[in-house]
Amino acid sequence: MTAAVLAGAPAAQALLGEARRRAAALPVRPHLHLIRVGQDPASLSYVRGKDRQAREAGLRSTVHALPEDVALPALLALLDHLSADPEAHGILVQLPLPPHLPPAAVQAATDPRKDVDGFHPLNVGRLWAGQPGLAPCTALGILALLRHYGQPLSGRSAVVVGRSPIVGRPVAGLLLAADATVTVAHLRTPDLGRVTRDADVLIVAAGQPHLITADMVRPGAAVVDVGIHRLTGPGGAPHLTGDVHPGVAQVAGALTPVPGGVGPMTVAQLLLNTVQAAEAQLGRSAA
Ligand code: NDP
């Protein structure tokens, strides 16, 4: 058996189409503000991609590029200003931040109604209380990907490997809200394979290349590989790979590729979150 490929591109296009349609129905264009600190090459590339895709989806987008040594009060002042600005609907601070800028302080300084990354403590609480709010983009993107391909969640056994606030925890909360029976595994979990073999739906966000091998997967399971790693092949050529060993494709019923699986969903979901935030601020929805 070879697993069905859960490609991100068609599912991301569906989300982008929805974002474009809902943005066009609003009296003003939703405006996303992207804040980047320093010159980290990955952050530069992520912010550039988010800015470009926001414009392509018919949103307004503004990038605030701050110097590496920006003081915490200056960053918090910018967040205060944007939080109070009725023309700013979504605010995202690109992570990681330099060590002198504590992410928790920065995340708590954004108006939760504009927190399109879903990291504000109020939005984290709402997610776990099963209340509407803004949830983290990669986690929402994973659920949207599974739904796009008709993967059932209600009543199924879902195992999440990883408990980071960015991926593992929020995806576990969303799976619970979708009526899955959820287990969260982490570094202290003994016999990881025993836990993962129980999964009908296995989400792997551990940041460890090829951690999950074929013997750790229940035959027919749906496997989502969130990990992304740049490895160097035998000839010195770089290639991207995930947390899931390629041999899992022989056992799983469905599997996301790396690259081209979860990756495209994250930005598409960010734009949908921005539209959702704008709708709520403009009184067009209950969220
Ligand atoms: P973190 O490093 O913040 O968290 C990793 C989690 O995995 C931790 O909870 C850790 O456990 C757990 N873990 C690590 N090793 C093992 C192991 N051997 N067995 C069981 N659990 C383990 O990573 P992130 O959540 O931020 O990211 C995970 C991966 O997803 C990375 O490769 C990242 O690049 C990728 N990513 C991809 C995105 C996309 O859009 N495609 C977006 C975000 C991330 P413990 O808590 O005990 O330390």
Q: Report CA-CA distances (Å) from 70 to 79, 99, 154, 195.
A: 13, 11, 46, 44
Q: Are residues 146 and 246 in the same domain?
A: yes
Say if 57 falls within a structural domain: yes
pLDDT under 70 in the chain at which residues? 286-287
Residues belonging to the binding site for NADP(+) are: 162-164, 228
How many whole angstroms from 205 Cα to the centroid of ligand 1? 4
Total tally of structural domains belonging to the chain = 2
CB atoms within 10 A of CB 233: 9
What is residue 235's predicted lDDT score, i.e. its pLDDT? 85
Fill in the amino acid letter for 118. Answer: G
Q: Are residues 201 and 257 in the same domain?
A: yes
Say if 174 falls within a structural domain: yes
Residue 176 belongs to a domain with what CATH number?
A: 3.40.50.720
What is the residue with the minimal CA distance to atom 17 of ligand 1? 187
Instruction: Report the nearest atom of ligand 1 relative to the CA of 161.
Output: 21
**Could you tell me if 112 and 89 are in contact, meaning their C-beta atoms sit under 8 angstroms apart?**
no
pLDDT per residue as tens digits for the range 21-31: 999 999 999 99
Say if 9 falls within a structural domain: no
Say if 6 falls within a structural domain: no
Say if 74 falls within a structural domain: yes
How many whole angstroms from 167 Cα to the centroid of ligand 1? 7
pLDDT per residue as tens digits for the range 41-76: 999 999 999 999 999 999 999 999 999 999 999 999
Residue of 119, 213, 228 to mutate, ligand 1, most atoms within 8 A of C-beta: 228
Q: Are residues 75 and 170 in the same domain?
A: no
- The response to whether residue 188 sits with its C-beta less than 6 Å from ligand 1 reads yes
Distance of alpha carbon 202 from alpha carbon 188, whole angstroms = 18
- The response to whether residue 263 sits with its C-beta less than 6 Å from ligand 1 reads yes
- The response to whether residue 211 sits with its C-beta less than 6 Å from ligand 1 reads yes
Q: Are residues 148 and 225 in the same domain?
A: yes
Distance of alpha carbon 189 from alpha carbon 191, whole angstroms = 7
Residue 94 belongs to a domain with what CATH number?
A: 3.40.50.10860
Residue 188: give the domain boundaries: 137-264
How many whole angstroms from 30 Cα to the centroid of ligand 1? 32
Residue of 117, 163, 262 to mutate, ligand 1, most atoms within 8 A of C-beta: 163
What is residue 285's predicted lDDT score, i.e. its pLDDT? 76
Annotated active-site positions, please? Answer: 50, 94, 117
- The response to whether residue 163 sits with its C-beta less than 6 Å from ligand 1 reads yes
What is the residue with the minimal CA distance to atom 30 of ligand 1? 227
Residue 168, token pair as written in the block: 């593992």
Note if the pTM is more than 0.90: yes
Q: Are residues 154 and 100 in the same domain?
A: no
Evaluate whether ipTM surpasses 0.85: yes
| Buried/exposed 49-84: b ≥16 CB within 10 Å, e otherwise | ebbebbeebbbbbebbebeeebeeeebbebbeebbe
What is residue 267's predicted lDDT score, i.e. its pLDDT? 97
Q: Residue 136: CB partners within 8 Å, gap ≥ 6?
A: 117, 118, 119, 165, 166, 167, 170
**Could you tell me if 106 and 119 are in contact, meaning their C-beta atoms sit under 8 angstroms apart?**
no
Q: Residue 122: CB partners within 8 Å, gap ≥ 6?
A: 112, 133
- The response to whether residue 183 sits with its C-beta less than 6 Å from ligand 1 reads no
What is residue 159's predicted lDDT score, i.e. its pLDDT? 99
- Mean pLDDT, the chain, as a whole number? 97
Residue 19, token pair as written in the block: 């974002």
What is the residue with the minimal CA distance to atom 48 of ligand 1? 187
What is residue 11's predicted lDDT score, i.e. its pLDDT? 98
